[in-house]
Amino acid sequence: AAAPAAEEAPVYTYADMTLCYPQLGAESDWRTANTASIKQTAEELGVTLIFSDAQQKQENQISAVRACIEQGVDVIALPPVVEDGWDAVLTEAQDAGIPVIIVDRSVSADSSLYAAHIGSDMFLEGQRAAEEMNKLLPDGGNILELSGTVGSGAATGRAEGFRDALNDNITILDSQTGNFTRAEAIPVMEAFLKKYAGQVDGVFIHNDDMAIGAIEAIKAAGIEPGDLKIVSVDGTRGGFQAMIDGWIQADVECNPLLGPQVMEMGLKLMNGEAVDPETLTNETVYYPEEAEELLPTRQY
């Protein structure tokens, strides 16, 4: 029998698509912008969106994915809070014939269990952050690291990339998690400043929200802007403002506006078209000198 001609294949449009987005939480301005991008894009394109917020708990995310499988959605786009522990639910989606796009952070599951990944190269972001710290501390020094959620692809990638590119004359005295939130970063930074008083030249902070929290603690300790070199990640408005105020010396961009790419790929998958297994976001580094001019143009 002849293979069906291309024009006979069912062609779905955005209006036919029900997309499940089990968001991992609302921990940062980056995340808020990511959620807004998904919701706005769905509305503009006429995609039916099933959205949930797992409050940074993997078990909530897994339940949300299972609910979407049961409901028979067309596509699941999953931003995984941590890397491990997805094999079972990804297998369930696959058995149900529902394609999964891993969005933003990565998973450790075998790539045969999902259709594709769209997001940032977290290792590269870490390398970029290290290059900035190298420039800020040309004679070396002692630094601290305020890292993201333990076990998340974003924190692991940034930590590894940072160590990969950091000069040998810079020592990481300590590394603690602030779970990507302002609130959790404050006590961590306070404890750091007590423990390492007078010994610290810089801090690598895995996102701008934690940087803003840390800056509160640094201010309270009577330290002046620029005395501690701070390299952060994301490039949110808050990060830009902290650059203008002299607290952050370099901000490595991480782009949360993934809605259009996610929906476009979702539709391709519905129509049985081939997709790129890995789509990396194009990103840069921002500096204080340009922060004032760029702030009004920032979308998040």
Rule CB under 6 A: which residues touch ligand GYE?
27-28, 30-31, 104-105, 120, 154, 180, 207, 209, 233-234, 254
* Secondary element (H or E) of residue 219: helix 208-220
Q: Closest separation between CB of residue 280 and ligand GYE, Å?
A: 12
For strands 278-280 and 116-119, give the pairing.
parallel
Sequence letter at residue 257:
L
Nearer to ligand GYE, 55 or 71 (CB): 55
Give the residues across from 279 on adjacent strands. Answer: 118
* DSSP 8-state assignment for residue 125: H
* 8-state DSSP, 122: H
| Nearest distance in Å: CB 272, ligand GYE | 30
| Alpha carbons 246 and 226: distance in angstroms, whole number | 6
Task: Say how many C-beta atoms besides its own lie within 10 A of residue 242's C-beta.
Answer: 24
Nearer to ligand GYE, 221 or 257 (CB): 257
Burial class (CB in 10 A: 0-12, 13-18, 19+), 39: middle
Using only C-alpha atoms, the chain has a radius of gyration, in whole angstroms, of 21
Considering the complex, what minimum distance in angstroms separates the CB of residue 12 from ligand GYE? 29
Q: Among residues 105 and 268, whose Cβ is nearest to ligand GYE?
A: 105
Closest distance between ligand GYE and the C-beta of residue 48, in Å? Answer: 25
Nearest approach in angstroms of CB 213 to ligand GYE is 12
Q: 17 or 189: whose CB is closer to ligand GYE? A: 189
Q: Which among 35, 94, 28, 31 is positioned nearest to 262, based on CA atoms?
A: 35
Nearer to ligand GYE, 76 or 270 (CB): 76
Distance CA 194, CA 93 (A): 48
CB atoms inside a 10 Å sphere around CB 261: 18
Q: Closer to ligand GYE by CB, 104 or 201: give it.
A: 104
Phi, psi of 121 (to 5 degrees): -90, 95
148/288 with CB nearer ligand GYE: 148
Which 8-state DSSP code applies to residue 201? -
Q: How far is the CB of 126 from ligand GYE (least distance, A)?
A: 11
Q: How far is the CB of 2 from ligand GYE (least distance, A)?
A: 47
